[in-house]
Amino acid sequence: MAVTAAMIKELRELTGVGMSACKNALVETDGNIEEAIEVLRKQGLANAAKKAGRIAAEGISYAYITEDNSVGVVVEVNSETDFVAKNDLFKTFVNNVAVQVSGSDAKDVEELFTEKWVEDGDKTVKDALTEKISVIGENLNIRRFAKVVNDGNSYLVSYIHAGGKIAVLVEMATQSKDDAVFTAGKNIAMQIASMNPKFVATSDVPEDFIAHEKEVLMEQAKNDPKNANKPENILEKMLTGKLNKELKDFCLLEQEYVLGDKISVGQYLKEVSKEIGTDVTVKSFIRFETGEGIEKKNENFAEEVAKAMQ
C-alpha cells in the first residue's frame, strides 16, 4: 500500500513522533496504522498506550442505570458531526437505545437490531435507526454496548464526561447502600474516565498482556544506545521495575487516586470501608470513549461547500 501524506499526518497526531519516523514506520508496516504505532513504541519513540485513544469520531457514549439499580448499561452511538451529537432528538434516541439494551438478551448489535423497538413494538431497532437517519439527515450507527446485571451484592454507579465524550459504569462490590458508597463510586468513575485503566487489579492482568508489554520494553531497551553492550539477562532485570510501574498505571486499584493526597485508589476504598463499617471495592468497570479506534473522516470544508452548490 502506498503511504500517503494523510496517513503520515494521522500517525503523527496519534503519537507525537516526527514525520520521518512516522513515514518509515508506515513503510515498514505497509501502511497499517496500528502496526506502525507498535513499531514506534518498540523504538521508544511513542507512548501509544496513552495516546491511541485520541482517534476522533462524533456521537455520544452514554451510561444508564435502571431505577432499582439492577442493571447498568453503556452504549456508544455515532453520528457524522458534533452538531448532531448535541441535538436533543439524537440524545433521546441514544437514551432509548440504552433502555432497550437494559431489557435485552442480545449478545451484539446485530442481534439487537432484530428486536422489537422499546418505543414502538411495530418496528425493529434497525427500523428505528433507519428512521432516525432519515429524520436527522446524517448517517448514524449503534456501534457497541455493554451491560452489567447486579447480583444483589453490588452497587452500580455511572459517570458521563463532557456531554458524552466518555461514559463509565462502575460495579462496586459491597452490601452497603450508604450514600458514601455512591460518592465513592462517582469518584472512582471519574478516576476511570481520567486515567483510563485497563484492569481492576494486577491479579486481573492476563499473561499474554504482560508478555507483550515485556517485549515492547525489551525492544525499547535494545534500541537505547546506553544499553548497547549489556547482555539480555541484565536488560531483563532492568525492565522488572519499569514493567511493574507500567502495570500499576494499567490497574485501577494500584493507580494514584487523583482526588487524594498521594494514596492509591485501593487505599482510598479502604478508608471508605472503614468509614461505613463494611467492605467496599471495585468488582468491574466499563469505559467507552466516543470514537476510539475509529478513523476520523478527513474532509475539506471548502470542497464540501463547492460540491453542495453544484
**What are the DSSP calls for 7-31, one per residue?**
HHHHHHHHH---HHHHHHHHHHTTT
Dist. CA 47–CA 274, nearest whole Å: 38
**Do 46 and 4 belong together in one domain?**
yes
* pLDDT, the chain, mean: 88
Q: Strand 166-173 and strand 58-65: pairing?
A: unpaired
In a domain, 130, yes or no: yes
Q: Which residue has the higher pLDDT, 56 or 22?
A: 22
Q: pLDDT by residue (tens digit) across 83-92?
A: 889 999 999 9
**Do 77 and 133 belong together in one domain?**
yes
Q: pLDDT by residue (tens digit) across 6-43?
A: 888 888 777 767 777 888 889 999 999 888 888 887 87
In a domain, 272, yes or no: no
In a domain, 83, yes or no: yes
In a domain, 288, yes or no: no
pLDDT value of position 56 = 34
Residue 148: band (very low, low, confident or very high) from pLDDT cuts 50, 70, 90 = very high
Q: pLDDT by residue (tens digit) across 232-248?
A: 888 888 888 888 888 88
In a domain, 23, yes or no: yes
Where residue 20 sits, what CATH number does that domain have?
1.10.8.10
**Do 72 and 109 belong together in one domain?**
yes
Type of residue found at 106: A
- Residue 114: domain span: 57-149
20-24, 51-55, 202-206, 292-296 — which is least confidently predicted? Answer: 51-55
Type of residue found at 160: I
User: Domain total for the chain?
Assistant: 2
In a domain, 43, yes or no: yes
**Do 65 and 45 belong together in one domain?**
no
282, pLDDT greater than 80: yes
pTM of this prediction exceeds 0.95: no
Length of the chain: 310
pLDDT value of position 308 = 43
* Grid coordinates of 9: 499526518
**Do 28 and 72 belong together in one domain?**
no
Asked if 163 contacts 257 with a C-beta cutoff of 8 angstroms, the reply is: no
49, pLDDT greater than 90: no
In a domain, 123, yes or no: yes
In a domain, 109, yes or no: yes
**Do 49 and 23 belong together in one domain?**
yes
Type of residue found at 305: V
